Amino acid sequence: MHFFTYKKGELFVEDVPVKELVKEFGTPLYIYSYGTLIRHIRAYEEAFCEISHIICYAVKANSNLAILSLFAELGIGADIVSGGELFRALKAGIKPYRIVFAGVGKTDEEIEYAIKNNILMFNVESELELYKINEIAKKLKKQARVALRINPDIDPKTHKYIATGLKTSKFGIPISKAVEYYKVAKSLENIKIIGIHKHIGSQITETDAYVEALRKLLELYEKLVQADVDIEYIDIGGGLGITYKDEEPPHPKDLANALIPLIKNQKGKLIVEPGRSIVGNAGILVTKVLYTKQTDVKNFIIVDAGMNDLMRPTLYGSYHEILPVTQGKRQKIVADIVGPICESGDFLAKDREIEKLSPGEYLAVMSAGAYGFSMSSNYNSRPRAAEVLVKGEHYALIRKRETYKDLIKNEIIPEDLL
Binding residues for substrate: 276, 312, 316, 343, 371
Choices 33-41, 233-241, 250-258, 294-302; region in contact with ligand LLP by CB under 6 A: 233-241
Question: Is the Cβ of residue 21 or residue 175 nearer to ligand LLP in the bound state?
Answer: 175
Choices 182-190, 238-246, 258-266, 283-291; region in contact with ligand LLP by CB under 6 A: 238-246
- Closest separation between CB of residue 410 and ligand LLP, Å? 25
- Closest separation between CB of residue 156 and ligand LLP, Å? 10
Instruction: Please give the DSSP secondary-structure letter assigned to residue 283.
Output: E
Q: What is the number of other CB atoms lying within 10 angstroms of the CB of residue 226?
A: 9
Choices 15-23, 109-117, 271-279, 360-368; region in contact with ligand LLP by CB under 6 A: 271-279
Spatial neighbors of 261 by CB under 8 A, at least 6 apart, are none
Largest CA distance in the chain: 71
Q: Is 203 in the site for ligand LLP (CB under 6 A)?
A: yes
Interface characters, 336-375, with ligand LLP (x: CB under 6 A): ----------------------------------xx----
Contact 405, 381 (CB under 8 A): no
Contact 164, 153 (CB under 8 A): no
Q: Is 275 in the site for ligand LLP (CB under 6 A)?
A: yes
Bond preceding residue 274 cis, omega within 30 of 0: no
How far is the CA of 276 from the CAs of 59, 201, 243, 297, in angstroms? 10, 11, 10, 36
Handedness of CA 17, 18, 19, 22 (dihedral sign): positive
Catalytic residue selected from 226, 265, 297, 342? 342
Give the integer Cα–Cα distance in Å for 126 and 109: 17
Q: Is 276 in the site for ligand LLP (CB under 6 A)?
A: yes
Give the integer Cα–Cα distance in Å for 42 and 34: 12
Contact 65, 91 (CB under 8 A): yes
Which residue positions form the known binding site?
A: 239, 273-276, 312, 316, 343, 371
Q: Which of 14, 110, 129, 273 touches ligand LLP (CB under 6 A)?
A: 273
Q: Is 342 a catalytic residue?
A: yes
Q: Which of 102, 213, 289, 341 touches ligand LLP (CB under 6 A)?
A: 102
Which residues would be at the binding site for ligand LLP (CB under 6 A)? 58, 61, 79, 102, 162, 199, 202-203, 237-240, 273-277, 312, 316, 370-371
Catalytic residues: 342
